[in-house]
A and B are shown apart, each in its own frame.
Chain A
Amino acid sequence: MSLTGQEHQQRYFRSIDELQQTPEFQQFVTREFPQAASEFPEGVSRRRWIQMMGASLALGGVAGCRYHREEIGAFVVRPEGRVPGIPEYFATNFEWAGSVVNALIANIEGRPIKVDGNPDHPAYANSQPKDFTENKKLRSAGTTAMTQASILSLYDQDRVANPCCGKSYGRPQEVQLGRSHEQVFRMGCVRKVR
């Protein structure tokens, strides 16, 4: 590999499975059909084969008439103010390509689904004509295409799941949720202020 220099070339991939070269992916590449789909079983007569296929088709039809059993895992304690099916809105600020975004993020069942500008943020509200800020129907705050697309980053698999804290050297350490203040302090995230 290194002789041809391929190692240093950009690698393109179509799925995480391909990137990680998982056994499932290897099998998928080498076989056109999943296991047992392409083989003709040995020692079975043509007549028997047709019978079997006919039966499985018929049974498949029967199974298709019923929904499979589905379970709903309800909350033990539902978060305050959460009404299932009604979006919640959270105001937040973040930095994107050097500029500040004052965002209002729509969240449904605990999942963020849409990033929009926050019309209540003073930076936006003060720059608008009064009609816009006072009329609820006209209230909306514009965002850039990049801000709109930033919703995807929340679903990035490689996104850091927990808060991180960096020491002056080495890799930043992730702070697992549920750690006490004392533990976080010992990790060196917070410096004592005298």
Chain B
Amino acid sequence: MDCRYCHNSVDKSAHSSIPPTQTCVNCHSPKTADGQAPTLSAVHAESKKLKPVHESWRTGESIDWVRIHRLPDYVYFNHSIHIARGVSCVTCHGRVDKMEEVYQAKDQSMTWCIDCHRNPAPHIRPVDQVTNLGWSLDSEEEQLALGKKLVEENNINPQTNCAVCHR
């Protein structure tokens, strides 16, 4: 399943955005009040883990998602440009598809950002593989060669000026 099914603004906006309950309910709709099968798709219609989703859909109250990845307020980060240039979700968020409960897998410190901005080649992949979290080449050398080629071709020139993120 593509990350962008739910985080649909990630390639358009600075925010990846938390999906509205409506998006969850497209697949995980609850049973109707009289126990009938739901009108929409019913993937795990009775799962306990989906209770907050169904509760939110019934009452109209927001689901309070716990924020895991959080940059300080003085950092500007734009998702869409990273996606457009071939930085995968997995590079910053880890294997979210394999996580039982999402945790922060990577540093997300300033040096960590700058390391990649100084030398992007090891982390650049073809744009159509950005949301494919399991994608990798056979060896580091291959990745480096492909990365260098893509950096060259697409004129990827990440800035390390302070004002790029601290604007």
Interface residues of A (CB under 8 A from B): 67, 69-78, 83-86
Contact of B18 among A67, A74, A77, A86 (CB under 8 A): A74
Per the bound structure, the CA–CA distance linking A77 and B15 in Å amounts to 18
Contact of A78 among B15, B22, B56, B63 (CB under 8 A): B22
Interface residues of B (CB under 8 A from A): 9, 12-15, 17-22, 56-57, 60-67, 70
Are B17 and A85 in contact, with the CB atoms below 8 A?
yes
Are A73 and B70 in contact, with the CB atoms below 8 A?
no
Assuming the contacts A77-B22, A78-B20, asked whether A83 and B64 have C-beta atoms less than 8 A apart, the reply is no
Chain A interface mostly helix, strand, loop or mixed? loop
Are A74 and B61 in contact, with the CB atoms below 8 A?
no
Q: Would you give 28 A-B contacts (Cβ < 8 Å), ordered by A? A: A69-B66, A70-B66, A71-B65, A71-B66, A72-B18, A72-B65, A72-B67, A74-B20, A74-B63, A74-B65, A75-B21, A75-B62, A76-B20, A76-B21, A76-B57, A76-B60, A76-B61, A76-B62, A77-B20, A77-B21, A78-B20, A83-B13, A84-B13, A84-B15, A85-B9, A85-B15, A86-B12, A86-B13
Closest to B79 in A: A85
Per the bound structure, the CA–CA distance linking A73 and B19 in Å amounts to 10
Are A74 and B62 in contact, with the CB atoms below 8 A?
yes
Q: Which residues on B sit within 8 Å (CB–CB) of A85?
A: 9, 13-15, 17
